[in-house]
Amino acid sequence: MMEEKEYTVTIYTENQIGLLSQITNAFTRHSLSIWSLSAGATSLEGVHNITIVTRGPEKKVKETVQQIEKRVDVIKVFFYTADKIVYRELALYKVATDGLLECGDLEALLSRFNAKIVEMNKTFTVIQKTGHTDETALLHDALKPYKVLQFVRSGRISVSKAMQEPVFKFLRKREQEQKQINNQ
């Protein structure tokens, strides 16, 4: 067996309907499961970002990445191990307010986990925490005694540790090439 690792796959696409399903299909075809997925805008107009966390042997992940990059409307795809990126997930915890008040030092608990309250009423309180998967899981454990009514975690978002989004360089090069073609 090849060694399995967690990879964060960062996909830059044109804003095209239907691309997301083609991308997730590529994972399915290579029997890789998607652990988390998030999609959104980038600082470049018209360029979208899809970030997928998966686990598998490097060769398989690489093949999947190449298949995705082959799609006409996909601009560029990168994949990283966790040490090459700065990444976060967002977690929300809905906890019964009376239970939470029994805990005594709520302030201390929140500051220990670097979490904050985003909504509070008589029946429930919503706590927010950003962090890595294991960190948000730890807070979940800590809150369990006070009756967690709901716990959700977002997909991962990440930035590379390179100075610039690597896709910038690619797009600049393509702009040059377009000019050349237009001048022909």
Partner 1 sequence: MITGSEALWRALVAEGVDTVFGYPGGQIMPVYDSLCDFGDRIRHILVRHEQGAIHAAQGYARVKGTPGVVIVTSGPGATNVITGVADAMTDSTPVVVITGQVATAALGTDAFQEADVIGLTAPISKWNWQIRSADEVAWAVARAFYIAGTGRPGPVVLDFTRDAQVGMTDFHFEPCRFIRSYIPEPTPSELSIKQAVALLDAAERPLVVFGQGITLSHAEDRLRAFLEKGDIPAGSTLLGLSALPSDFPLYQGMIGMHGNVAPNVKTGECDVLVAIGMRFDDRVTGTVSTYARQAKVIHIDIDKSEIGKIIPVEVGIRGDAGKVLAILTERMQARKHPEWVAGFAACRAVEEEKVIGPEIRPGSGLLRMGEVVDGVSRVTEGKAVIVTDVGQNQMMAARYSRFAAGRSFLSSGGLGTMGFGLPAAIGAKIAAPARPVCLFVGDGGIQMTLQEFGTILQEQVGVKIVLLNNNWLGNVRQWQELFYGQRYSQTRMLNPDYSLIAAAYGIRYRAVERREDLAEALQELFSDDRPALLDVHVLENGNVMPMVPPGRGIDEILLSENQWYRPQ
The site for partner 1 (CB under 8 A) is made up of 13-14, 17-18, 21-22, 25, 29, 63, 66-67, 69-70, 72-76, 171, 174-175, 177-178, 181-182
Q: C-beta of 53: minimal distance to partner 1 in Å? A: 22
Residues 178 and 81: their CA atoms lie apart, in Å, by 33
Q: C-beta of 166: minimal distance to partner 1 in Å? A: 15
Q: C-beta of 34: minimal distance to partner 1 in Å? A: 16
CA nearest to 26, candidates 76, 73, 72, 68: 68
For partner 1, the closer CB: 53 or 74: 74
For partner 1, the closer CB: 157 or 167: 167
For partner 1, the closer CB: 66 or 123: 66
Residues 38 and 16: their CA atoms lie apart, in Å, by 16
For partner 1, the closer CB: 40 or 145: 40
For partner 1, the closer CB: 164 or 182: 182
The structure tokens listed for 162 are: 């390179």
E strands, the chain, are: 4-14, 34-41, 47-57, 74-80, 85-96, 116-120, 124-131, 148-153, 157-160
Q: C-beta of 47: minimal distance to partner 1 in Å? A: 9
Q: C-beta of 178: minimal distance to partner 1 in Å? A: 5
Residues 88 and 31: their CA atoms lie apart, in Å, by 25
Residues 150 and 147: their CA atoms lie apart, in Å, by 9
Residues 75 and 154: their CA atoms lie apart, in Å, by 24
